[in-house]
Structure 1
Amino acid sequence: METNSVALRGVRVEHARVAQMPGERAVHVDVCCAQPQRSAPIDELLGAVVACVQQESGEPAARIAHAVAVRMAQLTESADVQVTLRVAGDGETPAYAGVEWNVHVTDTDVQPADDATLPVRTASHAAVISLESRVPNAADVFRTMIVALDGIPGNQVEGISPLYAVTHADGSAGRSAVVALQTTMSAAHLERALTALHAAHEGAVTCHIVQMSGIGDEERAALDTGDAQHRAAVLAPWMDMDPQATLQGDPLAFLLASAPDAPFVGMESDHWIIGGE
Structure 2
Amino acid sequence: MSDPTVQPVPASVVEQVDAADVTLSNPHRAVLALGSNLGNRLETLQGAIDALEDTPGVRVKAVSPVYETEPWGVEPGSQPSYFNAVVIVKTTLPPDSLLERGQAIEEAFDRVREERWGPRTLDVDIVAYADVVSADPVLTLPHPRAHERAFVLAPWHDLEPEASLPGRGPVAELLAAIGLSGVSARADLELRLPD
CA drift of 1:259 comes to 2.4
CA drift of 1:258 comes to 2.6
Q: Residue 209 of structure 1 contacts residue 223 of structure 1 at CA under 8 Å; is this kept in 2?
A: no
Two-structure CA RMSD over aligned residues (Å): 3.0
- 1:162 equivalent among 62, 65, 71: 65
Partner deviation per Cα, 1:39-65 (whole Å, 9 max, x = no partner):
xxxxxxxxxxxxxxxxxxxxxxxxxxx
TM-score when normalising by structure 2: 0.73
Larger Rg computed on CA atoms: 1
CA distance in structure 2 between the aligned counterparts of 1:226 and 1:202, rounded to whole angstroms: 25
Aligned to 2:185: 267
- 2:35 equivalent among 110, 120, 132: 132
Q: Percent of aligned pairs with the same residue?
A: 28
- In the alignment, residue 222 of structure 1 is paired with which amino acid? L
Query: Deviation above 6 Å: which 4+ runs of structure 1?
Result: 108-111
TM-score when normalising by structure 1: 0.53
Count of residue pairs brought into register by the alignment: 164
Q: Residue 133 of structure 2 contacts residue 140 of structure 2 at CA under 8 Å; is this kept in 1?
A: no
Q: Would you say 1:175 and 2:83 are equivalent positions?
A: yes
Question: Which segments of 5 or more consecutive residues in structure 2 lack a partner in the other structure?
Answer: 1-6, 112-120
Task: Please identify which structure carries the higher helix content.
Answer: 1
SS at match of 1:238: helix
Q: Residue 187 of structure 1 contacts residue 215 of structure 1 at CA under 8 Å; is this kept in 2?
A: no
Q: Residue 36 of structure 2 contacts residue 83 of structure 2 at CA under 8 Å; is this kept in 1?
A: yes
Partner deviation per Cα, 1:115-159 (whole Å, 9 max, x = no partner):
853254854110000001112411110111111101111111110
Aligned to 1:70: none
Question: Which segments of 5 or more consecutive residues in structure 1 lack a partner in the other structure?
Answer: 1-107
Residue 213 and residue 270 in structure 1: after superposition, are their counterparts in 2 closer, same or farther (change >3 A)? farther
Partner deviation per Cα, 1:235-276 (whole Å, 9 max, x = no partner):
11110111110113411121112327x2110100376125xx
